[in-house]
C-alpha cells in the first residue's frame, strides 16, 4: 500500500515535470538554434542591420523590430482609450441591458480566431484604407486597427476586474466629499486600480507583439524600414511565419534568432506585468 | 456656481465619450460578425460539408479540412489530458504552495491575475 502510494506520487511528479520540461526544451532549442547565428554575424549587425537578404547572407532585423514596434504602438494608441472607456462603462455607467450586450460581445471577440480577423481585415479594412488614404492598403495602419480590436477583450476584462475589485469605500468616500461621479472615476478609482490596468495593457501588448497570422495577411510583409503609417511592413513574428517553410542553413537559424529576440521581448513584458500588478496602491 | 457647472459639463462630456467608445466597440463587433455570416452563410449547403475540395479548392466542399481539424484536436486532447490532469493532481494533492509548484503550474501567471482579482 505504502509503496504503491509512493509510486503514484513519483509518477505524478514525473508527469508534472515532463509537462514543464516540454516548455523548457522548446526554449532551449530556440536559443540553441538562434544564438550561434547572432554571435556569427554579431549582435549589433543582427539587431541594427536594416538589410535582410537571406540569399546573400545578410540578416539584419531592424526593419522588423520597427515594424513590430509601430504596429503594436498603433494598436495600443487605439486600444487603450477604447478598452479603458469600455471597462469604465461596464462597471460604472452601464444600464444592465447594454452591459449584457457588451460583455457577451467581448466574449465573442475573444473567441474569434486570428485568421478570421486577418481575413476580415484583408477583405474589408484594407480596401477602405487603400481607397481613402492611399498607399497599398496593406499597411501598418490596417494592422494596428485589427490588432487594437484583437487586444480589446484583454484590456477590457482585466481592467474591469481590477476596477470591480476596489473596496466600495473608495467610491463612497469620494462621492461623500462632493466629487462628481466622473471625478470619482478619474481621480480615485482609476489611480487606485492602476496596477491592474497597467497589467492589462502589458498583456495586450504581448498579444499584439505575438500576433502572426492576421499580420501576415494584413501588413503586406515588405522588408524595409517603414516610413509612414500607410507603408507596408513586416513584424518579427511574420518574418518567421512567412519564411520558415523554405528556409535552410543560416537562413533557418536566422529565423530562430528572430524568435530569440521575440522571446526575450515577450518574457520581459510578462515579467514587467507581474511586477507592476503585484504593486498595490494602498 | 460657475465652477460647479464646469464640473458637471466635464462629466457630461466624459459620459458621452465613454458611451461613444462602448457603442463603437459594439458596432465593430457586430460588423465583423455580420459580415462573416452574410458572406459565408449563402455558400453553406449540405454538399459543402460532404465533399472534399476539388481543383485547388475552387470547387467542392470542406469535408477533408473538417476531418483534419477534428483529428488534430482529438490527438492533441489525447496527449494533453493525462499530462494536464496528472500535473493538476500532483500540484493539488502532493505539493504545498512553494516555488517549485509555482514554476510548474505557471502560477506566476495566475499570480498575475491574483494580483488583480484579490
SS3 A93: helix
Residue A178 lies inside a defined structural domain of this protein? yes
Confidence band of B116 (pLDDT split at 50, 70, 90): very low
| B39: helix, strand or coil | helix
Nearest residue to B23 via CA among A281, A86, A114: A86
Q: Do B86 and A86 touch (CB under 8 A)?
A: no
**HSE toward the beta carbon, residue A73, CA cutoff 13 A:** 8
Residue B113 confidence (pLDDT): 43
**Phi-psi group of A139: left, alpha or beta (phi > 0 → left; psi -120 to 50 → alpha; rest → beta):** beta
The answer to pTM > 0.90 is no
Query: A258 lies in a domain?
Result: yes
**What total number of domains does chain A contain?**
1
Between A90 and B57, name the one with better pLDDT: A90
Interface mutation vs chain B, best among A8, A26, A78, A89, most B CBs within 10 Å: A89
Cβ of A16 and B21 within 8 Å?
no
pLDDT digits (tens, 9 = 90+) for A47-79: 998 888 888 888 989 999 999 999 999 999 999
Give the DSSP H/E element, type plus range, for residue B118: none
Band of pLDDT at residue A31, cut at 50, 70 and 90: very high
By mean pLDDT, which of A58-72, A256-270, B86-100 is the weakest?
B86-100
Domain membership flag for residue A29: no
Q: What's chain A's average pLDDT? A: 88
Question: How far apart are the C-alpha atoms of A106 and A155, rounded to whole Å?
Answer: 11
pLDDT of residue B117: 35
In tens, the pLDDT along B1-16 reads: 556 788 888 889 999 9
User: What is residue A151's DSSP assignment?
Assistant: H
Q: Give residue B108's pLDDT.
A: 47
Tell me whether residue A8 is in a domain: no
Phi-psi domain of A222 (left: phi exceeds 0; alpha: psi -120 through 50; beta: other): beta
- A281 pLDDT above the threshold of 60: no
Question: What pLDDT, on a 0 to 100 scale, did the predictor assign at position A88?
Answer: 93
**Looking at residues A151-175, what average pLDDT do you find?**
92
A19 Cβ contact partners less than 8 Å away, ≥ 6 residues apart: B83, B84, B86, B87, B104
Q: What ipTM does this complex have?
A: 0.78
Coil, helix or strand for A138?
coil
Instruction: Convert the pLDDT of each residue in B45-80 to its tens digit.
Output: 888 888 777 777 777 778 888 999 999 999 999 998
Residue A278 pLDDT more than 80?
Answer: no
DSSP per position, B48-105:
HHHS-EEGGGTEE--HHHHHHHHHHHHHHHHHHHHHHHHHHHIIIII--SSHHHHHHH
Structural domain boundaries of chain B? 1-43, 45-118
**At residue A133, does pLDDT exceed 70?**
yes
pLDDT category of residue A13 using cuts at 50, 70 and 90: confident
Q: Beta-carbon neighbour count of residue A231 at 10 Å?
A: 20
Q: Which of B14, B36, B80 to mutate to test the interface with A (most CBs of A within 10 A)?
A: B14
Q: For residue A135, is pLDDT > 90? A: no
Average pLDDT over residues A87-115: 88
DSSP-based three-state secondary structure for A42: coil
Q: Which residues in chain B touch residue A93, judged by CB atoms under 8 angstroms apart?
A: 15, 18-19
- Higher-confidence residue of A204 and A135: namely A204
Q: How far apart are CA A201 and CA A76, in angstroms?
A: 8
A128: domain CATH number? Answer: 1.10.3720.10
Q: Which helix (H) or strand (E) holds A19?
A: helix A2-41
Amino acid at each position: 500500500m505504502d509503496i504503491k502510494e509512493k509510486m503514484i506520487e513519483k509518477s505524478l511528479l514525473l508527469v508534472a515535470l515532463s509537462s514543464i520540461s516540454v516548455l523548457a526544451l522548446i526554449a532551449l532549442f530556440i536559443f540553441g538554434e538562434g544564438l550561434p547565428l547572432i554571435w556569427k554575424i554579431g549582435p549589433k549587425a543582427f539587431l541594427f542591420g536594416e538589410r535582410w537578404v537571406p540569399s546573400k547572407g545578410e540578416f539584419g532585423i531592424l526593419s522588423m523590430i520597427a515594424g513590430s514596434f509601430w504596429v503594436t504602438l498603433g494598436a495600443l494608441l487605439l486600444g487603450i482609450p477604447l478598452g479603458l472607456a469600455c471597462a469604465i462603462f461596464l462597471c460604472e455607467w452601464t444600464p444592465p441591458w447594454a452591459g449584457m450586450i457588451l460583455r457577451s460581445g467581448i466574449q465573442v471577440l475573444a473567441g474569434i480566431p486570428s485568421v478570421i480577423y486577418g481575413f476580415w481585415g484583408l477583405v474589408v479594412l484594407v480596401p477602405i484604407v487603400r481607397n481613402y488614404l492611399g498607399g497599398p492598403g496593406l499597411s501598418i495602419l490596417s494592422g494596428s486597427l485589427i490588432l487594437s480590436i484583437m487586444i480589446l477583450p484583454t484590456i477590457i476584462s482585466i481592467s474591469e476586474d481590477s476596477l470591480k475589485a476596489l473596496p466600495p469605500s473608495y467610491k463612497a468616500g469620494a462621492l461623500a466629499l462632493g466629487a462628481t461621479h466622473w471625478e470619482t472615476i478619474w481621480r480615485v478609482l482609476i489611480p487606485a486600480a492602476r496596477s491592474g490596468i497597467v497589467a492589462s495593457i502589458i498583456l495586450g501588448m504581448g498579444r499584439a507583439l505575438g500576433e502572426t497570422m492576421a499580420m501576415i495577411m494584413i501588413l503586406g510583409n515588405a522588408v524595409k524600414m517603414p516610413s509612414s503609417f500607410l507603408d507596408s511592413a513586416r513584424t518579427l513574428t511574420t518574418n518567421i511565419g512567412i519564411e520558415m517553410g523554405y528556409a535552410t542553413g543560416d537562413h533557418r537559424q536566422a529565423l530562430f534568432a528572430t524568435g530569440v529576440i521575440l522571446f526575450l521581448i515577450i518574457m520581459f513584458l510578462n515579467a514587467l506585468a507581474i511586477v507592476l500588478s503585484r504593486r498595490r496602491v494602498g | 456656481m460657475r465652477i460647479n457647472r464646469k464640473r458637471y459639463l466635464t462629466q457630461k462630456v466624459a459620459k458621452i465619450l465613454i458611451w461613444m467608445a462602448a457603442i463603437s466597440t459594439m458596432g465593430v463587433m457586430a460588423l465583423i460578425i455580420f459580415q462573416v455570416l452574410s458572406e459565408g452563410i449563402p455558400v453553406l449547403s449540405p454538399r459543402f460539408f460532404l465533399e472534399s475540395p476539388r481543383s485547388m479548392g475552387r470547387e467542392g466542399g470542406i469535408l477533408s479540412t473538417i476531418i483534419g481539424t477534428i483529428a488534430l484536436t482529438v490527438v492533441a486532447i489525447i496527449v494533453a489530458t493525462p499530462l494536464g490532469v496528472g500535473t493538476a493532481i500532483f500540484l493539488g494533492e502532493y505539493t504545498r504552495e512553494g516555488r517549485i509548484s509555482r514554476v510548474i503550474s505557471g502560477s506566476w501567471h495566475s499570480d498575475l491575475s491574483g494580483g488583480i482579482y484579490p
